[in-house]
C-alpha cells in the first residue's frame, strides 16, 4: 500500500512540474489586448487559460459571471456527461461482484454484492430520470447525485470491512476499495466547472474520506491516512485545473460563436436562443419582457456614398451608443445588416420607452457627412401585447419599427398590431391602418 501511494505521489509531482514548465514557456496574452500582461490572481488563471480576454478571468472563479447562454449550454453538457458516466458506472459496478463472491466470505461477499446491485440501480435511475435541461440548478442536482451515490457506497464498504479482520487475498482486494475516492476526484476533470464548483464537489469526496476514517473501529494509521488525504487534495487541484481549462475553452468557443465579429454584440442565432430563454423565464415568473427592434435610418446611403468601411464604422458607433443606455442584464443582438434587437427582461413598455427615448436624446453617432445618425424603433412587450410566444413578440416589434419608418423615421412606435394578430402573426389591413396612426413617442 505504501509503495503504491509513493508511486502515485511521484507521478503527480512529475505531472505538476511538467505543466509548470509548459506554462512558464508560454507567453501570457489577451485576445482583446496583445500588450496586456495579467498580474496577481489573473496571472494564475492565465496560466490555466491564456486565451481568455482580460474581463473573462472572473468567469473561471464562479458561475455568477456567466451569461445565460453559456450557462444553458454548459448545463446541457454537464448533464449529458453525467448521464454517460452514470451509465458506465451502472455497467461496471456489478461486474466486480463475481470477484467479491469468490474472494470474500459469505458474511462480507453477500452484503457487498447487494450494495453493488443497489448502486447500479441508483446509477440507472439517474441515467433515465436525469433529462437534459438548460438550467444550472438541474445540472447541479445531477452532479450531486452522481458523486453522492458512490460516496455512500464507499462509506458503507468501509463500515462493513471495519467489522471483520481480513487477511491474504481478501485483504489485498479490500485495499482496492480505498482508491474509489481517487476515481471520483479524477471524474471531476471531465466537467467544465469553475473553481468554486470544483471545490464544492471535491469537498463531498474529502468529507467522505474523513468519515471513512472515523468509521474505522481499529486504530488508524495516521501517517498512511495523511499521505492518502494529501494525494486526494493534490488530485482535486489537478482536476480543478482540468475543469477550468475546459470551461475556458468553452468560454472562448461560445464567445466566438455567439458574438458578431464586427460589432461585438450577439448574433441573430444566439439572440433567438437568448430570447427563447428569457421568454420562458418571463412566462414562469409572470414578469414583463420588452423587445425593441432598431433599424438605422437611410443606412444604405452610407454604404453607397461613403463605402462599406465607413458603414462599418457607423455600425460600430451605433452599437456603442446603444450599449451605453442599456442595463447589465439587457441583451443586444445584430438581427440583420443595420437592424438590431434589444431584449429587456423585467421591463414593461413604459420603462423600455424611457430607455430608448434616452437613446434618441444621446444619439447613435454621426454619419460620414457629419449629420446625426437616427433610427426607427418599434417596441413590444409580452404582457401588454398578450403574445403567446417569442416569435409573435418579435413580429410585433418588427411591424412597429416599419410603422415608425413609414412615418418618417427617427421615432419610436409602441402601440398597435399585436392583440388582433392571427396565429401566423399576419396583420389585417384594418389593423395596420389603425396602427399607422398610433402614438409615437
pLDDT at 149 over 50: yes
The arithmetic mean of pLDDT across residues 201-222, rounded, is 76
- CA–CA distance, 411 with 297 (Å, rounded to integer): 10
Assess contact for 284 and 332: CB atoms under 8 A.
no
- CA–CA distance, 420 with 435 (Å, rounded to integer): 11
- Spell out the SS3 assignment of the chain: CHHHHHHHHHHHHHHHHHHHHHHHHCCCCECCECCCCCCCHHHHHHHHCCCCCHHHCHHHHCHHHCCHHHHHHHHHHHHHHHHHHHHHHHHHHHHCHHHHHHHCCHHHHHHHHHHHHHHHHHHHHHHHHCCCCCCHHHHHHHHHHHHHHHHHHHHHHHHHHCCCCCCHHHHHHHHHHHHHHHHHHHHHHHCCCCHHHHHHHHHHHHHHHHHHHHHCCCCCCHHHHHHHHHHHHHHHHHHHHHHHHHHHHHHHHHHHHHECCCCCCECHHHHHHHHHHHHHHHHHHCCCEEEEEEEECCHHHHHHHHCHHHHHHHHHHHHHHHHHHCCCCCEEEECCCCEEEEEEECCCHHHHHHHHHHHHHHCCCECCCCCECCEEEEEEEHHHHCCCCHHHHHHHHHHHHHHHHHCCCCCEECCCCCCCCCCCCCCCHHHHHHHHCCCEC
Backbone angles phi, psi at 62, to 5 degrees: -150, 150
If one looks up domain 268-436 in CATH, what number appears? 3.30.70.270
Taken in order 260, 263, 266, 271, is the CA torsion positive or negative? negative
The arithmetic mean of pLDDT across residues 185-208, rounded, is 90
Tell me the per-residue pLDDT of 162-188, one tens digit each, with 9 for 90 and over: 888 888 888 888 888 888 889 899 999
pLDDT at 129 over 60: yes
Contacts (Cβ under 8 Å, ≥6 apart) of 176: none
Tell me the per-residue pLDDT of 312-340, one tens digit each, with 9 for 90 and over: 889 989 999 999 888 888 999 999 888 99
Q: Please, is 28 exposed, middle or buried when counting C-beta atoms within 10 Å of its C-beta (0-12, 13-18, 19+)?
A: middle
Tell which wins on pLDDT, 86 or 249.
86
pLDDT at 200 over 80: yes
pLDDT band at 51 (very low <50, low <70, confident <90, very high): low
The arithmetic mean of pLDDT across residues 215-219, rounded, is 59
Mean pLDDT of the chain: 80
- CA–CA distance, 322 with 316 (Å, rounded to integer): 10
pLDDT for the residue numbered 55: 64
Tell which wins on pLDDT, 134 or 290.
290
Taken in order 43, 46, 50, 51, is the CA torsion positive or negative? negative
pLDDT for the residue numbered 421: 47
- Percent pLDDT > 90 in the chain is 30
pLDDT for the residue numbered 1: 44
Assess contact for 4 and 226: CB atoms under 8 A.
no
pLDDT for the residue numbered 50: 57
For residue 161, which of 177, 140, 144 has the smallest C-alpha distance? 177
| Tally of CA atoms within 13 A in the half-sphere of 404 that contains its CB | 27
Tell me the per-residue pLDDT of 78-101, one tens digit each, with 9 for 90 and over: 999 999 999 999 999 999 889 888
pLDDT band at 31 (very low <50, low <70, confident <90, very high): very low
- CA–CA distance, 216 with 207 (Å, rounded to integer): 15
pLDDT for the residue numbered 367: 85
pLDDT at 352 over 70: yes
- CA–CA distance, 88 with 106 (Å, rounded to integer): 27
Tell me the per-residue pLDDT of 399-427, one tens digit each, with 9 for 90 and over: 999 999 998 888 999 887 644 444 333 33
First to last CA, the chain: 78
Which cell numbers hold the place of 374?
A: 437616427
pLDDT at 107 over 60: yes
pLDDT at 45 over 80: no
pLDDT for the residue numbered 440: 35
375-381 vs 289-296, strand pairing mode:
antiparallel
Which cell numbers hold the place of 176?
A: 482496492
- CA–CA distance, 441 with 389 (Å, rounded to integer): 26
pLDDT for the residue numbered 291: 94
- CA–CA distance, 350 with 441 (Å, rounded to integer): 11
Instruction: Show me where the domains of the chain are located.
Output: 2-258, 268-436
Q: Tell me the whole-structure pTM to 2 decimals.
A: 0.66
Amino acid at each position: 500500500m505504501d509503495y503504491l501511494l509513493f508511486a502515485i505521489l511521484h507521478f503527480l509531482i512529475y505531472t505538476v512540474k511538467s505543466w509548470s514548465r509548459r506554462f512558464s514557456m508560454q507567453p501570457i496574452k489577451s485576445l482583446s489586448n496583445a500588450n496586456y500582461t495579467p498580474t496577481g490572481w489573473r496571472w494564475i488563471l492565465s496560466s490555466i487559460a491564456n486565451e481568455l480576454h482580460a474581463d473573462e478571468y472572473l468567469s473561471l472563479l464562479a458561475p455568477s459571471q456567466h451569461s445565460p447562454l453559456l450557462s444553458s449550454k454548459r448545463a446541457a453538457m454537464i448533464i449529458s456527461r453525467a448521464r454517460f458516466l452514470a451509465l458506465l458506472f451502472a455497467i461496471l459496478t456489478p461486474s466486480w461482484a463475481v470477484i467479491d463472491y469468490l474472494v470474500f466470505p459469505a458474511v462480507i461477499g453477500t452484503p457487498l454484492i447487494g450494495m453493488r446491485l443497489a448502486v447500479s440501480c441508483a446509477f440507472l435511475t439517474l441515467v433515465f430520470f436525469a433529462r437534459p435541461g438548460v438550467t444550472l440548478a438541474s445540472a447541479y442536482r445531477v452532479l450531486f447525485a452522481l458523486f453522492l451515490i458512490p460516496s455512500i457506497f464507499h462509506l458503507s464498504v468501509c463500515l462493513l470491512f471495519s467489522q471483520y479482520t481480513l487477511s491474504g487475498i481478501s485483504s489485498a482486494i479490500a485495499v482496492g476499495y480505498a482508491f474509489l475516492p481517487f476515481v471520483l476526484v479524477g471524474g471531476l476533470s471531465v466537467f467544465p466547472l469553475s473553481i468554486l464548483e470544483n471545490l464544492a464537489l471535491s469537498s463531498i469526496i474529502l468529507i467522505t474520506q474523513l468519515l471513512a476514517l472515523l468509521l474505522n473501529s481499529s486504530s488508524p494509521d495516521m501517517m498512511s491516512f495523511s499521505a492518502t488525504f494529501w494525494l486526494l487534495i493534490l488530485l482535486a487541484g489537478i482536476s480543478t485545473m482540468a475543469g477550468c481549462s475546459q470551461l475556458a475553452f468553452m468560454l472562448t468557443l461560445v464567445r466566438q460563436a455567439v458574438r458578431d465579429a464586427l460589432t461585438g454584440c450577439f448574433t441573430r442565432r444566439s439572440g433567438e436562443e437568448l430570447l427563447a430563454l428569457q421568454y420562458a423565464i418571463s412566462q414562469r415568473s409572470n414578469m414583463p419582457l420588452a423587445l425593441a427592434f432598431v433599424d438605422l435610418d437611410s443606412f444604405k446611403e452610407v454604404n453607397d456614398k461613403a463605402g462599406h468601411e465607413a458603414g462599418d464604422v457607423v455600425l460600430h458607433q451605433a452599437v456603442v451608443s446603444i450599449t451605453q443606455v442599456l442595463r447589465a442584464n439587457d441583451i443586444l443582438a445584430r438581427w440583420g445588416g443595420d437592424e438590431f434587437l434589444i431584449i429587456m427582461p423585467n421591463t414593461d413598455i413604459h420603462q423600455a420607452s424611457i430607455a430608448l427615448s434616452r437613446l434618441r436624446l444621446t444619439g447613435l453617432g454621426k454619419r460620414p457627412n457629419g449629420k446625426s445618425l437616427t433610427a426607427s424603433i418599434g417596441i413590444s412587450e409580452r404582457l401588454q401585447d398578450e403574445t403567446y410566444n417569442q416569435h409573435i413578440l418579435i413580429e410585433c416589434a418588427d411591424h412597429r419599427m416599419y410603422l415608425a419608418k413609414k412615418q418618417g423615421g427617427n421615432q419610436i412606435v409602441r402601440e398597435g398590431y399585436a392583440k388582433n394578430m392571427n396565429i401566423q402573426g399576419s396583420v389585417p389591413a384594418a389593423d395596420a391602418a389603425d396602427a399607422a396612426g398610433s402614438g409615437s413617442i
